[in-house]
Structure 1
Amino acid sequence: MGVPDGVASVAVEVYDDGFACLAARDAALLARADVLAAAAPSGPAVSEARIGVIVSSARPEPATARTPWWRSVLARLNSRAVRTHFGTVAGVVILGALLWHLGTGVLLDGLRGIDATTLVVSLLIGVATTVLSAWRWALVARGLKIHLPLGPAVADYYRALFLNAALPGGVLGDVHRAVRHGQSAGDLGRGVRSVVLERVAGQIALTVVGTAMLLTMPSPVLGEVRHFAPLVGLAAVGALAVVVALRMNKAPSRRGTRLRSTLAEAREGLLSRRNWPGVTISSLLILAGHLGMFVLAAKVAGSGASVAVLLPLAVLALVAMGLPLNIGGFGPREGVTAWAFGAAGLGASSGVAVAVVYGVLSFVAALPGAVVLVARWYTSLKAGSGAAPEPDGAYARPSSEVSSEKIAPKESARLASSSLPFSAEPSEGRPMTPESV
């Protein structure tokens, strides 16, 4: 190959030592490089015309762009503290603005009209609606294969109503009821879903009955409802058709499997053959109780409107109560009722008075929940003093459709429930107060 013998012998020696097997080829390449370097013209490697300025110091970094003020405001509005207290602040602002604009004279006159008979009637209405709500909850839980006796369900429902009325937001009682029931039953997710489905049943009844009332009875929104109802119906049908088509042409995924499982539980809890009659009847009777409470509040506040006029206004007030921008229910309900009464020619001040009286009567109807709190607080104190506690077996017995291993509460779930406020577990030994929520 034209490689000198000395180079070849070196390559053989290197190869023998195990360091390289291509040393001969490398030597040839080096020799060729020397020839090319000798033939290159002499002179500088780079022409003087292409020599630039040598920078001895680093280029300064550009100034960092300042964050726009509106982004800072949005970041603060999206903070956890603002999200937590936004509903309470909104309720206070709405109620304060109404009282400042309309005055407190009509409001005080309405509150003076509350007598002992009114309080007794509101308590009786509360008993009826609470027992029916607990029965509906027990039916939904049974559909989800969770055993829930009616007695403990009534006590827990009363406690949740009282916490909803006494604490900001209006939902903390239901949250506590869901978590405690799920941990006591040994299946937190299924227990929470039973509470959610029970509340969904009430909202469905309000939507169906309320829409029928607003479409057929005179109200400030009669024209708007009749105009938008067909469009909303067509949009709902079209959206349902699109969802069905996508599900038929899409391969099953983990999210789709979870959605189908949730829909199956909802169908079993609300629409099964043995559940839907009880869920439907209880939901309608509960709604009738709330509407009756509103009519009673209107009569106590001095409104002379007929029941036919008051019922659509009551539906609007109940819809406004579902917004989480209130203090124990006060806030949007008063604003919407003031507007509805004013639009109906009954006076905005009268609407505020009716809404406030309704809130007071609803709070009175939920007062037995305070008795439940005190009783369980005393039980917890008694257990902490060394008295032998009775086992809490309210949710321990499994349903007849499932085995006891799946439904009976485990020891870990019972210990975990002690971290919840207002827990009825007698082994806690600490007081239960609303401030701990």
Structure 2
Amino acid sequence: MRTFRAVRTRLGAIAGVTLLAVLLWRLGTGVFLGGLRRIDGPAVLAAAGIGLVTTAFSAWRWQLVARALGIRLPYGPALAGYYRALFLNAALPGGVVGDVHRAVRHGGGAGDLGRGVRAVVLERAAGQVVLAVAGAGILLTVPSPVRTQVRQFAPPVALAVLGVAAIALALWPDRGPRARGRVLGAEVRAALLSRRSGPGVVVASVVVLAGHVALFLLAARVVGSDASAVALLPLAVLALLAMSVPFNVGGWGPREGATAWAFGAAGLGAGNGLAVAVVYGVLGFAASLPGLLVLAARWGTSPRAAAGTAGGEAASAVPEPEPGPAGGHTRSGGTSCTTRTSGTTRTSRTTRTSRSSSSEVSSVKYAAKESTRLASSSFPFSAVPREGLPMTPESV
């Protein structure tokens, strides 16, 4: 399975780079550079504001799905984890590395890796379903120059989606099909179709989709397009649908190709479409930069300070001797040693030596291991529990 994901990621990166190279070869690098030069400070600030809204509602959607599956996920760690995932998706090839990371991290911290992964998958699936339904409705009903072409390509695309779904089901890990179907169906109903979480998931997905469309319209205005928002709406939806294709490099590739084709078909110029897609990608990356701060905060944790804290907690965990019967002392190991008033000096010295040995053994026994101390803070992608305790989402 890991080999399949690695091959898919490499093929996707190659396909995305090839598509970008073809577009630059046909349309020239001047369009690409011209779009970048038009980006200014107000545009970046507006993109950051839009990104804050979309990320906040995406984190809420993730929280709703996770709670419906029985996994605790506070909103603060969910927001930080989602920002980190967006940055990794935008910075690394494939466009899904960040989602894989937050799924593994949350599932490992909650003590149920399978549910953690399924929570992220269902959360992303909910957004894609809303995008597909709303996009199909807009592309097939709203008057636009691309509506005829979309109606022609809609049946083959639908068949391709069904074929991919059939292949995915065929490659599902071997388990009892009935048990797998019951478990998956129950989780889908609880996370996406129940009265408790379903409406919130739909509202969050609609707001996220509106935020992506608003970012596309902002990119079009930055490039200098004077087309109306109604005319740009189908083109924006088409670009967002192309972004869901996994063959890309950090989201780049299919989006630029689809936007250039759509703008050319609408008579707005394929070069302008490529420039809009480029500006959209840069603004989207700028909106995900708070995720870099989350990673930097995680990297900034000092291993030495963490080790000192762990050592202090371990030392405080050693129990003190408790008073025993007849004025003696009871050690933490449960063995009592009574010192009589008429006892000899040798007996008292032996008692003190035994207590000292017991304290040393207890300190060694309960002190945190060095490997655990280092693993708890040395690398932000590590899912190793901290100081022997299960990792919780609060540690994000």
Instruction: Give the TM-score, by structure 2 length.
Output: 0.72
- Residue ranges of structure 1 left out of the alignment (5+ in a row): 1-77, 237-252, 392-413, 429-437
Contact 1:389 1:427 in 2 (8 A): no
Q: Name 2:104's counterpart in structure 1.
A: 179
Match for residue 218 of structure 2 among 296, 315, 320: 296
1:210 corresponds to 2:130: no
Q: Could you list the per-position Cα deviations for residues 263-320 of structure 1 after superposition, in whole angstroms to 9, with x for gaps in the alignment? A: 1101100111111111111110000000000000011011121111111111111111
Within 2, Cα distance between the matches of 1:283 and 1:168? 24
Q: Name 1:370's counterpart in structure 2.
A: 292
Within 1, Cα distance between the matches of 2:50 and 2:27? 30
Within 1, Cα distance between the matches of 2:251 and 2:271? 18
Is the alpha carbon distance of 1:232 and 1:359 closer, same or farther for their aligned partners in structure 2, counting shifts above 3 Å?
A: closer
Match for residue 386 of structure 1 among 308, 330, 338: 308
Within 1, Cα distance between the matches of 2:311 and 2:78? 21
Q: Could you list the per-position Cα deviations for residues 47-97 of structure 1 after superposition, in whole angstroms to 9, with x for gaps in the alignment? A: xxxxxxxxxxxxxxxxxxxxxxxxxxxxxxx99875441111111111111
Matches within 5 A, 1:12-411: 82-226=7-151, 254-379=176-301, 381=303, 383-384=305-306, 386-388=308-310
Within 2, Cα distance between the matches of 1:166 and 1:278? 29
Is the alpha carbon distance of 1:163 and 1:230 closer, same or farther for their aligned partners in structure 2, counting shifts above 3 Å?
A: closer
Is the alpha carbon distance of 1:337 and 1:360 closer, same or farther for their aligned partners in structure 2, counting shifts above 3 Å?
A: same
Instruction: Give the counterpart letter for 1:168 in structure 2.
Output: P
Contact 2:84 2:98 in 1 (8 A): yes
Instruction: Give the counterpart letter for 1:200 in structure 2.
Output: A
Within 1, Cα distance between the matches of 2:225 and 2:378? 47
**Pair member with larger Rg:** 1
Contact 1:180 1:417 in 2 (8 A): no
Instruction: Give the counterpart letter for 1:353 in structure 2.
Output: A
- Residue ranges of structure 2 left out of the alignment (5+ in a row): 162-174, 314-372, 388-396
Instruction: Give the counterpart letter for 2:179 in structure 1.
Output: T
SS of match in other structure, 1:297: helix
Is the alpha carbon distance of 1:83 and 1:103 closer, same or farther for their aligned partners in structure 2, counting shifts above 3 Å?
A: same
Is the alpha carbon distance of 1:159 and 1:81 closer, same or farther for their aligned partners in structure 2, counting shifts above 3 Å?
A: closer
Contact 2:219 2:276 in 1 (8 A): yes
Within 2, Cα distance between the matches of 1:366 and 1:341? 26
Q: Name 2:171's counterpart in structure 1.
A: none
Shift of 1:229: 6.3
Instruction: Give the counterpart letter for 2:67 in structure 1.
Output: R
Is the alpha carbon distance of 1:389 and 1:156 closer, same or farther for their aligned partners in structure 2, counting shifts above 3 Å?
A: farther
More helix by share: 2
Match for residue 382 of structure 2 among 417, 423, 435: 423
Within 2, Cα distance between the matches of 1:166 and 1:199? 19
Within 2, Cα distance between the matches of 1:283 and 1:163? 21
Is the alpha carbon distance of 1:319 and 1:228 closer, same or farther for their aligned partners in structure 2, counting shifts above 3 Å?
A: closer
Instruction: Give the counterpart letter for 1:179 in structure 2.
Output: V
Within 1, Cα distance between the matches of 2:157 and 2:250? 31
Within 2, Cα distance between the matches of 1:427 and 1:216? 54
Within 2, Cα distance between the matches of 1:140 and 1:390? 38
Contact 1:380 1:426 in 2 (8 A): no
Within 2, Cα distance between the matches of 1:390 and 1:362? 44
Contact 1:317 1:333 in 2 (8 A): yes
The more displaced of 218-227 and 207-216 is 218-227
Within 1, Cα distance between the matches of 2:34 and 2:109? 46
Contact 1:130 1:158 in 2 (8 A): yes
Determine what percentage of the aligned residue pairs are the same residue: 64
SS of match in other structure, 1:379: coil
Is the alpha carbon distance of 1:79 and 1:230 closer, same or farther for their aligned partners in structure 2, counting shifts above 3 Å?
A: closer
Within 1, Cα distance between the matches of 2:6 and 2:203? 41
Within 1, Cα distance between the matches of 2:311 and 2:77? 17
Contact 1:141 1:269 in 2 (8 A): yes
Is the alpha carbon distance of 1:280 and 1:390 closer, same or farther for their aligned partners in structure 2, counting shifts above 3 Å?
A: farther
Q: Name 2:172's counterpart in structure 1.
A: none
Contact 1:376 1:424 in 2 (8 A): no
Is the alpha carbon distance of 1:380 and 1:272 closer, same or farther for their aligned partners in structure 2, counting shifts above 3 Å?
A: farther
Instruction: Give the counterpart letter for 1:423 in structure 2.
Output: S
Contact 2:9 2:93 in 1 (8 A): no
Shift of 1:423: 3.4
Q: Could you list the per-position Cα deviations for residues 131-171 of structure 1 after superposition, in whole angstroms to 9, with x for gaps in the alignment? A: 10000000001110111110000000000000000001100
Is the alpha carbon distance of 1:367 and 1:233 closer, same or farther for their aligned partners in structure 2, counting shifts above 3 Å?
A: closer
Tell me the C-alpha RMSD between the 2 structures: 3.3
